[in-house]
Amino acid sequence: MSLQKIGLVYHPLNERALTQAQKLVERLTETNVAHWMCSAWEPNDIRSKLDGTSLVITCGGDGTILRVAQIVSEVGVPIMGINLGRLGFLTELTATEVDDKLDKILAGAGWIEERAMLQADLQPAMNRGPTQSFHAMNDVVMARGEIARIVHIVAEINGRHFTTYRADGVVAATATGSTGYSLAACGPVLHPESRDFVLTPITPHLTMHYPMVLPGTAHIRLTLNAVHQATLSIDGHISLPLANGDNICIKASPLKTRFLRLRTRGYFYRSLDHKLKG
């Protein structure tokens, strides 16, 4: 993989992330590799710099990658993450590994891992607003809002009624997101390169309590039935209010997130065992 230009994106509230990005700027300057640096919280700035970029290196944690993935997936630029957060399921390197690995990266080492994403189309009831589309690498969540009362969510799969959840909410998770909120709600873990996705209820009450694994060809519609306000969450950092009758149509996204990996292709199983044990 030839690297013509490298983007460095850091978590703006993590001092270690900024320091790491600045160190990489120095290394890339020394090796005459074109580069740019930007905060993960400045999506428009990142978009403006992506032209000609071969790789984006993130300095932060999984949350930083989720923000960046929604942007760079639009143009197919691969990501490599340096973990300066906590869990680091998606990151590739620790801060102590960067110095030893950077030369290999610049020499074109590694392989590309491709992850499926979800497209979520929010359709407000009663023509209260236009349809909005989002792309999620991790998950799409319809859930109760500030009031601690369950909501009723009508679920349809491929145009047919499936069930009505009485719960705190429902998580639609990609294989990547299956180790996140969905797992916390007792959902299954999928291999990260799987195209399947999961529908998992959150603390269901006297209703269907088990998760469903669905093929990547499935189309889901979730319709909110609640007198109080609820919430739509996309990858944990986009949050929108929902009202009674609003629905979300979820399907496989045409976009993919691409990662540059240095580890062997069987890394996921070892990583999963290590991460889930804390």
Residues 169, 171: Cα–Cα separation, whole Å? 7
Task: Return all residues near 53 (Cβ < 8 A) that are at least 6 apart.
Answer: 4, 5, 6, 7, 36, 77
**Residue 142 near residue 230, CB atoms below 8 Å:** yes
Helix axis angle, 15-30 relative to 98-106, nearest 10°?
Answer: 40
- φ, ψ of residue 271 in degrees (nearest 5): -65, -40
Residues marked active site are found at: 62
Residues 73, 19: Cα–Cα separation, whole Å? 26
Q: Which position has the token pair 């500030």?
A: 146
